[in-house]
Chain A
Amino acid sequence: MTLSLVLIIVMAVLIAAGVYLVLERSLTRVVLGVLLMGNGVNLLMLSMAGPAGLAPLVIDGVEAEQYSDPLPQALILTAIVITFAVSAFLLALIYRSWRLANADDVSDDADDVALRGGEVTLPMEETAPDEGDTEFPLEAEVAQGGPGVDATERVVIVTDNDSSSAPEGGGGR
């Protein structure tokens, strides 16, 4: 099958312009880039339909080859509507971003940037089996004349027996 060179070139330019915009940080430009790429892809599908033909409205006595290929057309039709739905969604994202952060740009992920700088410490559980010699630290404290806690009150379960002695966190040994 033959291809229309004009269609291919226009398609390539649309996609290139779309990619250029999508790589921007401004969300508005990103959405415009998505629109351009959408148009480019629709042209790609259209160019696969072959040369221009009759509109695919069945007329008696016309051979199937004479119509423009309806298959890519059906695909493009839904693609057009979906592109609109998706860009509406992206617009809502832009609006939301503007409302929340007064910004319509894609900023770097703060956690990832922090990780790159080595600032993130990894929380880590550690064992210290010899830490404490009883499951009942509060009772023991009371028995040894520690701070006045009602001995009948068994609050041991809700007490962190190492919170006072061990510093918080600790990123790896």
Chain B
Amino acid sequence: MLIVLTVFAVAAVLLPVLEKALGRKIFLVAALVSLGAFAHTILLAPAVLSGETPSETLTWIAQLQLTLDVRMDALSWMLALIVTGVGSLVMLYCSRYFGPRDAGLGRFSAVLLAFAGAMYGLVIADDVYLLFILWEATSVFSYLLIGHYTNRRASRGAALQALITTTLGGLVMLVGLVLLAVQAGSSSLLVILQTAPADPLTTTAVMLVLVGALSKSAIVPLHFWLPGAMAAPTPVSAYLHAAAMVKAGIYLLARLAPAFVVVPGWREVLIVLGVATMLLGGWLALKQSDLKLLLAYGTVSQLGFLTVVTGFGSRDTALAALALLLGHALFKSTLFLVVGIVDHETGTRDLRKLSGLGRRAPALALVAGLALASMAGLPPLFGFVAKEAVLHGLLSAAGGTQVDGAGAIWAAVALAGVTLGSVLTVAYSIRFFWGAFARKPDVDDTVLLAERGVQSRRFLLAPAILAVAGLALGPLAGVADGPIAQAAGRFASGVDEGEIYHLALWHGLGPELGLSLVTIVLGALLFFARERVGRVQSRLSTGVNASDVYWDAVGAVDRLAARVTSITQRGSLPFYLGVILVVFVGVTTAGLLIGDSWPAEFRLWDTPAQLAIGIVMIIAAVAATQAQKRFAALVIVGVTGFGMSAIFALQGAPDLAITQVLVEVVTLIAFVLVLRRLPAKLGDRHGSTHRVLRAVIAIGVGTTVALVALIAAGSRIHDPISLAWPQLAYEIGHGRNVVNVALVDIRAWDTLGELAVVIAAATGVASLLFLRGRGDAPPRLARGVVQRRIASRLDRVREQGHDGEQRGAWILAGPTLDPRHRSILLEVVVRLTFHAVIVVSLYLLFAGHNLPGGGFAGGLVAGLALVGRYLAGGRYELGAALPLGAGFVLGAGLVIAASTAIVPMFLGAPPLTSTYWEAEVWLLGEVSFVTSTFFDIGVYLIVIGLVLDVLRSLGAEVDRQGGDDQSADRPAYSIMTKGGGA
């Protein structure tokens, strides 16, 4: 059985591929798959009918005890036959229904087949979670099928409505199933049904499951999605909304009834809702003029009928329910298929426009007539057999057979309801036949779109088979009785073998036959009085229907969501930040006040110099908030940065002091590179608003953080973990600079993560500037060309003597610049210092393990050297200085850093383990080397890559785009013209 499921899945995936080759014949492939499953199910008959239950188990997620358990008892077997059998006939029908060139047939056939597979799995699933997954899968496939005509608004709306309604029910059901599984201690349906504890929790769980079952089977008040779902192509309606999906709820009721019929409320809920649905559906079916909607409401009515009979839960009604279910699957899908043919061939389903079709298409009328007779419960059709069984079951229960006293009363209620409902059924069955096929005096004969259609054997084959099956099973009811009785046999305990009922066409004269006769006569009268009935209906019409209520509810949810959004999402970033910060202040302060720790000791300052620097920084910070010019503000903020550096130096943190100074310089340059394109004055458009409010929030946040610092310090009761670091660094990390060893060895994992952040930010910078691809391959000058050019220029200079316009070239790309923008002093300085600075950076990198420095500081120094080259010679000079892409440098750095993590793992050590070599080297004396230096080299490269990226993006690329701007006559602000040497 699992293999059948697999075949369904694989075939569904393959079908769209075949669409081009096969066109609409693709449905024949799908039909074959479904037919194969049908044959497989038939082959299981001997085993199932002899009382075995073939079952298979496949462990899915062992840790969650999720298994793919399938079992096929008689109930599952019967439903599997319906699902696969009707499925293959509907697919056969599709191959004629759709046009050869219709769009989307591959997708449609695949979804239809997948639905068949899911439905097949649903009826044989033993694990409740598997059942739920397939249950929801059928909802999703139904959504896709209803919405097949994706360009029709009604289709999309109906699909969504069906999806929301059935998945909502499904979710409620899931809660119930989880409760049941937890109560029973197993997710196996078999075990749950055997345990079936009787306590309030189980009652709740069962009621929740009923919500799911009733929503799926379109029972009042969740019935409205089914008529809406008629927007689906008609074969879908025939299959999903008559034979298969809507039966899932009935199947679940039948599955649970033997164990849970004793649950308080089970019988009451199902009988009340079922009768209401049956009557409402039948009543509305009589109103419809669209044949398909007539059938849809008829289906709603029949589902109510099935709910009553299945939910009643005695042995005889269970037998009747299953017979009814089989009968309904046969006649209702036939009728839908007939409507499809009528629509296909005449271009309308409106019974007010159809006339005389019966004479033009006698075979079609015959097929429809058989199905309608079965639906109305006329002998000798199977529908009659089933209805006799229902009436018998309820009559005998009302007489006290197989049930207790309360059950007998409810049986009487149910009997009255279904009898009345059956009258309506008879009436709308006649109305259907009259509407589709009769010649109406005041309507012109319907024009056929193509004469061949109604005669097409292939088209008529599927409904004919289904109708004939319904006819044959009447006299052969004994054949059907075997499996159905066995499926109903789960009720048999305590029932006397002699008094059980068997399906048969003739049970002799009895009250059941009498009731049947009465319903038929009354139904026919109801039809003949249709004009009077119509007047009554229009008088009773309230103009309210459940679908409108649904849409009102959806609209209300939408409006509520919009209102909540408009209240909370003001669209203003300062507002959001303000809210976050106010919450931060409020919550943190409250937390601090509740706690009782307070710092024991203060000191005013570490050194008087700290006070002096602090005062400068405070002044700068306050001034920065008031600055009106971009560059001024930037420089003032820079003051606080240099102040930081001084504080670090005073505090005994030379690494930090060095790094801070370097970063401060690079930051200034990066700002200048960008700000040169912006107007000098800040806040041209939006002046500062809400100054007082912002100041209050700002002071609140500052004070809160200060409080946090005080209390955190006061709460400390342990020595810092880092007291062990100097020893660790020296003895294991083999470095004297504890901070550096911490970065590249002790806490190297953290550093690795931080490097990733740096790379992400650098990539972000590049991607904001280079719109198409990273595109940061450096612009290059061919070295030979440049050298020749310089040489020739030097020659000319020698010949002509000194000439201001023809300065010598100190750097490679100098001549590419506009002479007005060249600075000979800068060029000379860069020329003389570049290599020395690079050497210094390398020194910092390698000495950093024992002295202040390291990869971060070294990388920043090297970056500054590149900044110098760029400032002196522009983007070509930068390309000449480092002819590599920034992405390459970043990547190489990450690879090197990461490989120090990975390589030790190959050697059997934990990642990032470092080793140490020491050797005597000639001339240099004792040389030692730690492998964590490689990590530092990675850091070094990544920092260089970051600076390079900033220069290439914010420098060179902005230059290039700026050039474009000027040619396009857009205003460009330049540090040269506006900033005036700030």
User: What is the interface of chain A, defined by CB distance below 8 A to chain B?
Assistant: 1-26, 28-29, 32, 35-36, 39-40, 42-44, 46-49, 51-59, 62, 64-65, 67-71, 73-74, 76-78, 80-89, 91-96, 98-99, 103-106, 108-113, 115-116, 118, 120, 122, 124-137, 139-144, 151, 154, 156-162, 166, 172-173
* Chain B residues with CB under 8 A of A140: 346-348, 449
* Chain A residues with CB under 8 A of B201: none
Q: A32-B624, A93-B768, A160-B152 are in contact. List 6 more A-B contacts (CB 8 A).
A: A4-B603, A14-B702, A57-B851, A116-B571, A129-B154, A133-B353
Interface centre among B610, B641, B709, B769 (most CB of A within 10 A): B709
CA distance A85 to B649 in the complex (A): 23
Q: Flag if B750 contacts A130 (CB, 8 Å).
A: no
* Chain A residues with CB under 8 A of B151: 157-160
* Chain A residues with CB under 8 A of B103: 157-158
| Interface-lining segment among B155-163, B172-180, B533-541 | B155-163
Residues of B586-630 contacting chain A, CB below 8 A: 599-607, 610-611, 614, 617-618, 621-622, 624-625, 630
Q: Flag if A7 contacts B648 (CB, 8 Å).
A: no
Q: Does B721 contact A (CB under 8 A)?
A: yes
Q: Flag if A134 contacts B347 (CB, 8 Å).
A: yes
Q: Flag if B603 contacts A84 (CB, 8 Å).
A: no
* Chain A residues with CB under 8 A of B614: 6-7, 9-10
A44-B709 in contact given A26-B682, A91-B954, A129-B158 (Cβ < 8 Å): yes
**What is the chain A residue whose CB lies nearest that of B653?**
A73
Residues of B735-762 contacting chain A, CB below 8 A: 736-739, 742-743, 747, 750-751, 754, 757-758, 761-762
Interface centre among B160, B349, B573, B581 (most CB of A within 10 A): B573
Picked from A13, A57, A70, A162, the residue with its CB within 8 Å of the CB of B618 is A13
Q: Does B637 contact A (CB under 8 A)?
A: yes
Q: Flag if B606 contacts A52 (CB, 8 Å).
A: yes
Q: Does B660 contact A (CB under 8 A)?
A: yes
Q: Flag if A36 contacts B637 (CB, 8 Å).
A: yes
CA distance A118 to B958 in the complex (A): 41
Q: Flag if A20 contacts B694 (CB, 8 Å).
A: yes
A65-B723 in contact given A74-B743, A126-B157, A127-B158 (Cβ < 8 Å): yes
A103-B750 in contact given A3-B603, A71-B725, A166-B153 (Cβ < 8 Å): no
Q: Flag if A58 contacts B738 (CB, 8 Å).
A: yes
* Chain A residues with CB under 8 A of B667: 35, 84, 87
Q: Does B57 contact A (CB under 8 A)?
A: no
Residue pairs across A and B with Cβ atoms less than 8 A apart, 29 shown, are A2-B600, A6-B610, A7-B647, A9-B706, A10-B647, A12-B705, A23-B578, A23-B698, A51-B606, A55-B652, A55-B654, A56-B739, A58-B738, A85-B757, A85-B762, A88-B949, A88-B954, A93-B768, A95-B769, A116-B566, A120-B562, A122-B559, A124-B555, A135-B233, A135-B234, A136-B347, A157-B103, A173-B548, A173-B555
Interface contacts (Cβ under 8 Å), in number, total: 443
Q: Does B685 contact A (CB under 8 A)?
A: yes
* Chain A residues with CB under 8 A of B725: 56, 64, 70-71
CA distance A30 to B674 in the complex (A): 15
* Chain A residues with CB under 8 A of B570: 108, 112, 116
Interface centre among B293, B600, B640 (most CB of A within 10 A): B640
* Chain B residues with CB under 8 A of A161: 152
Contact count band on B: 35 or more
Q: Flag if A91 contacts B671 (CB, 8 Å).
A: yes
Picked from A49, A51, A80, the residue with its CB within 8 Å of the CB of B603 is A51
CB distance from A114 to the nearest CB of B (A): 9
Q: Flag if B640 contacts A82 (CB, 8 Å).
A: no
**What is the chain B residue whose CB lies nearest that of A109?**
B571
Q: Mark B687-726, 1 if CB is under 8 A from A, else 0.
A: 0111000110111011101100110110010001111111
* Chain A residues with CB under 8 A of B204: none
Q: Flag if B739 contacts A82 (CB, 8 Å).
A: no
A49-B709 in contact given A25-B574, A173-B552 (Cβ < 8 Å): no
Q: Flag if A81 contacts B644 (CB, 8 Å).
A: no
Picked from A2, A5, A77, the residue with its CB within 8 Å of the CB of B739 is A77
**What is the chain A residue whose CB lies nearest that of B730?**
A58
Q: Does B950 contact A (CB under 8 A)?
A: yes
CB distance from B544 to the nearest CB of A (A): 13
Q: Mark B92-105, 1 if CB is under 8 A from A, else 0.
A: 00000001011110
* Chain B residues with CB under 8 A of A18: 621, 698
Picked from B571, B673, B723, B961, the residue with its CB within 8 Å of the CB of A99 is B961
Q: Flag if B602 contacts A3 (CB, 8 Å).
A: yes
